[in-house]
Structure 1
Amino acid sequence: MNQLTKVFVLGLPRTGTTSICSTLLSLNYHVAHTAYTQTTFEKANALADTPIFNDYKELFHYYPNSQFIYLTRESEKWVPSIKQLLLRMYNNVVRDDGGFNPIIKRCYGEIFSPFTLENINDDEFLIACYNKHKAAVTEFFEQQAYSVLFIDISKPDDYQKLLSFLDKESYQDEHTGSGFPVLNQGGKVTAWKDLKHPHKIDSTKNGRSSTLNHIS
């Protein structure tokens, strides 16, 4: 069992994971937005997106006393955004002769199962996936009697909730400004790639993923 504690962001894609990762950088965390190698988990003390949103149960047991943050987003904003992302990803998730790395395929395939074009284009299916994921996270941590922070980055008050949860109130005026940055709007998903920061942790090694022994 690993004794290092970390911050894990459990929100599904398109709930503001890039924005909160940028905020965590400003709070002096070493941050990985997606993590596909053992080295990434070792170097980062704050991680989000894939495979965090899918593998939180294993991570909870492997990294005891860590902090977990769940990102919420109103369905009328999340559905068109996630639909656009999943449609772009579809071929590389389902193909057998390459495409995305196995970790991405596994996580998206499990959360949005069955992963079909028909389902991706069905708003009710996507909302059901979101609700099922949120309910599963809520139930799991309630069973553990463990506190999770639920926030919506579009709500100004939730920024202060994050600082309080992480015991980072002293950073507010000096380092972080007054709220979450607004990133990856209009379907763009490159903000994290374009962001330069010394505490930003690579998700892969030389563009390649590797087996994650503790969550495989």
Structure 2
Amino acid sequence: MTPKPTELSTTPQADMPKPTLTNKLANKVFIIGLPRTGTTSVSVALLEQGLTVAHQAFTKQAFMLADAVSDAPCFSDYQQLDTLFPNAKFVYLDRPLDKWLPSMQMLLSRMLVHLDKDNGRFHPIMKRSFNHCFDIWQVEDVFDDDHLTACYQRHQQQVLSYFAGRDDFITIDISVAGSFATLLQFIDLVEPDTAELPQPNFPQLNMGRNVASWDEYKHPNKISANAAGPDKRKFFDYRL
């Protein structure tokens, strides 16, 4: 496949640096499922297919270097990214609520102190991305089952409504047989009805209480979330 330059919006905020690596895909892939839906597993699977991947991206350069970007801020900023990268493909990750809910509660129990609006050590873009989807600065009990269920369903409904009728969007559950093949076909890495795939299923990562599999996984195609480029570590100019 011959790489083609990613097409960008002509709006001022899309005046972005050129990538310094040759992207394998003609257009970007954004994984827009919420945390604990399989973003790390999908990211590692795409690395193994030869793509450059950023699991979280907080600079323009990180977006430009990566073929695929997952997690924050993609799950909150998909509409803005759709404008900046009009030929991108979007992948929503679904997970049964009875499995997602306790997993998300565990994640928040470990992250919440670092997501504090004023004193949290996490990147400001990550903090506002989590607040946008989970109202962590507005609600008294962010761990409440009903609250998180409502957040999940609201996000899902908004995503499905926004992308309704479009062929540059799919939804998958990575635990379902055949979902890996569906993803590879969607992003044009394999032809439909390919008899043999490089691997049959997604890797099972960040299971249980593990939240750091991406940091532990070593691969030359990993893109730093804070990659610096011609604009140093500047992010896009849009606001949610």
TM over 0.5: yes
Q: Is the 8 A contact 1:37 1:203 kept in 2?
A: yes
Report the more deviating stretch, 160-169 or 17-26.
160-169
Q: Is the 8 A contact 1:93 1:100 kept in 2?
A: yes
1:59-138 pair list within 5 angstroms: 59-115=81-137, 118-138=140-160
SS at match of 1:120: coil
In structure 2, give the amino acid aligned to 1:88: R
In structure 2, give the amino acid aligned to 1:2: L
Question: By how many angstroms is 1:99 displaced?
Answer: 2.0
Q: Is the 8 A contact 1:119 1:126 kept in 2?
A: no
- Aligned position for 2:23: none
- Aligned position for 1:33: 55
Q: Describe the shift of the 1:132–1:39 C-alpha distance in structure 2 as closer, same or farther (beyond 3 A).
A: same
Question: By how many angstroms is 1:211 displaced?
Answer: 3.6
In structure 2, give the amino acid aligned to 1:35: A
- After TM superposition, the score normalised by the length of structure 1 is 0.89
The whole-number CA distance in structure 1 between the counterparts of 2:31 and 2:117 is 28
More helix by share: 1
Q: Describe the shift of the 1:159–1:46 C-alpha distance in structure 2 as closer, same or farther (beyond 3 A).
A: same
In structure 2, give the amino acid aligned to 1:203: A
Task: Count how many residue pairs are aligned between Structure 1 and Structure 2.
Answer: 212
- Aligned position for 2:75: 53
Question: Which of 14, 17, 24 is residue 39 of structure 2 equivalent to?
Answer: 17
Q: Is the 8 A contact 1:163 1:172 kept in 2?
A: no
- Aligned position for 1:200: 222
**Greater relative contact order (CA < 8 Å, ≥ 6 in sequence):** 1
- Aligned position for 1:164: 185
- After TM superposition, the score normalised by the length of structure 2 is 0.81
In structure 1, give the amino acid aligned to 2:163: F
Aligned-pair Cα RMSD in Å: 2.3
Percent identical across equivalent pairs?
38
1:131-146 pair list within 5 angstroms: 131-142=153-164, 145-146=166-167
Question: By how many angstroms is 1:178 displaced?
Answer: 0.9
SS at match of 1:55: helix
Question: By how many angstroms is 1:60 displaced?
Answer: 0.3
Q: Describe the shift of the 1:25–1:117 C-alpha distance in structure 2 as closer, same or farther (beyond 3 A).
A: same
Cα deviation, 1:43-89, whole Å, max 9, x if unaligned, reads 11100000000000010010011110000000111000111111211
Q: Is the 8 A contact 1:29 1:45 kept in 2?
A: yes
Question: By how many angstroms is 1:164 displaced?
Answer: 1.7
Q: Describe the shift of the 1:115–1:156 C-alpha distance in structure 2 as closer, same or farther (beyond 3 A).
A: farther
User: Can you give the 5+ residue segments of structure 2 that lack an aligned partner in the other structure?
Assistant: 1-6, 10-25
- Aligned position for 2:17: none
Question: By how many angstroms is 1:173 displaced?
Answer: 4.0
Question: By how many angstroms is 1:214 displaced?
Answer: 4.5
The whole-number CA distance in structure 1 between the counterparts of 2:136 and 2:59 is 26
Q: Is the 8 A contact 2:135 2:142 kept in 1?
A: no
